[in-house]
Each structure stands twice: as structure tokens, then as C-alpha cells.
Amino acid sequence: MSAQQAQEKVDNGVNVQALLGAREALTEAPAAARFTWRATCNWINGTHSETSVRGFYGLGEEQSHRTEFHFDTDHPEIFASEDHGATPVEVVLAGLAGCLTAGIAAVAQNRNIQLRSVKATLEGGMDLQGILGIDSDVRNGFDGIKVHYEIDADASKEDIAALVAQSQKRSAVYDIITNPTDVTVTVA
């Protein structure tokens, strides 16, 4: 079986040709690579709020998701809240998981590796003495995040590890979390 035949048989649902085409097009026209992602959040009650995502800017013009996506965030009942949604820090874990996992699928497709299943378990430790203002030496956020992958794929253990490493190297959310990202907050 030729490499070409093997490549045709691998299908992780990622259109790598389109991505390679996009890379080529954006190399020629880098201004189109400028994206702006947006979200709108409305406070509901207590610690419960709802965030919506639909429009974004990229490829030189306004774009839109097919539908609007909604995210409820809240605090759990042990914090005297009503638990109408995941906590905001769990939502960040979901963003990290989704980013690394999409990367694994895309890199696998590009490397001609058929994925059968990919599962990630994530955990982030946090000492609440930070956000409660008990100890100013304790940070508010996670003291670290652990992501563990179980991957079933037509590839060696080494090739699977290399997939995951390449996904980290190109992950937007991994970069946002591991490196400082400026956040400017203003009030009308």
C-alpha cells in the first residue's frame, strides 16, 4: 500500500488540506490572519451569569458562528450559591481541554495517524485562601493544571506522545494559560 493510499484511509474528520491552504493564503495576506474573538456576559443573580458567543472578526470581515453558544457559570452550593453552572475555573479547564484535543486531531490527520478515541482528564489545584483574602501569599488562580491523555490510535506510543507535544506547541489556550496575557478591564 502506498503512502498516498494510507493517507486516504486516515480520517479524523479534520480537513487538513483546507488548513494547509489557509496557511498558504494567510502567509500571502497576513492582515487576514488578525482575528478578534468576542463574548457577552449578563449577570443573572448572585454568582450566576450567562455568557453568549456568536460573532467574531477574521479574514478581513465580520464572521458568525452557525448558532449562538451559551455558558452558564455559577458557584456550587457549598459556597452558598445555587450551582446553576460550572465554576468559571472549570470553564477554563474545558477551554484548555477542547483546544489541546482539537490540536491532537488536526496533527494526527496531518501525520497520517488514525485516531480511535481520545480522552483527557484535567485537574487544577487551588488554595481558596487566595480568593478569600486569608493569605496574600496564596495566588487566586490554579497552582497548576494537570492534563492526562488516554489515546487509542494507529500509532506507536512514541508517535502518540509526539502528537500531544505538537498540539501543546500550537495551542492557543495552552499559551494563554502558561504565559502572561494582558487583560484590561474598563467600566462605562
Could you say whether residue 60 binds a second copy (CB under 8 A)? no
Question: Which positions from 123 through 182 interact with a second copy, judged by CB under 8 A?
Answer: 123-135, 139-151, 157, 160-161, 164-165, 168, 170-182
Nearest approach, Cβ of residue 45 and a second copy (Å): 4
Of 7, 97, 114, 154, which one interacts with a second copy (CB under 8 A)? 97
Angle at 59 between CA 58 and CA 63, to 5 degrees: 50
Residue pair 89/124 in contact (Cβ under 8 Å)? The answer is yes
Residue pair 127/141 in contact (Cβ under 8 Å)? The answer is no
Q: Which is nearer to a second copy, 6 or 39 (CB)?
A: 39
Question: Which positions from 22 through 41 interact with a second copy, judged by CB under 8 A?
Answer: 22-23, 26-27, 30, 33-41
C-alpha neighbours within 13 Å on the C-beta side of residue 33 = 10
As a whole number of Å, the end-to-end CA separation of the chain is 64
Of 10, 93, 107, 155, which one interacts with a second copy (CB under 8 A)? 93
Of 91, 111, 112, 114, which one interacts with a second copy (CB under 8 A)? 91
Could you say whether residue 9 binds a second copy (CB under 8 A)? no
Backbone angles phi, psi at 134, to 5 degrees: -80, -40
Backbone angles phi, psi at 27, to 5 degrees: -65, -40
Nearest approach, Cβ of residue 177 and a second copy (Å): 5
Could you say whether residue 65 binds a second copy (CB under 8 A)? yes
Q: Which is nearer to a second copy, 1 or 78 (CB)?
A: 78
Binding mask 98-117 toward a second copy (x if CB under 8 A, else -) reads xxxxx-xxx--------x-x
Nearest approach, Cβ of residue 142 and a second copy (Å): 5
Would you call 106 exposed, middle or buried from its count of C-beta atoms within 10 A (0-12, 13-18, 19+)? buried
Nearest approach, Cβ of residue 5 and a second copy (Å): 22
Q: Is 108 left (phi over 0), alpha (psi -120 to 50) or beta?
A: alpha
C-alpha cell, 57: 472578526
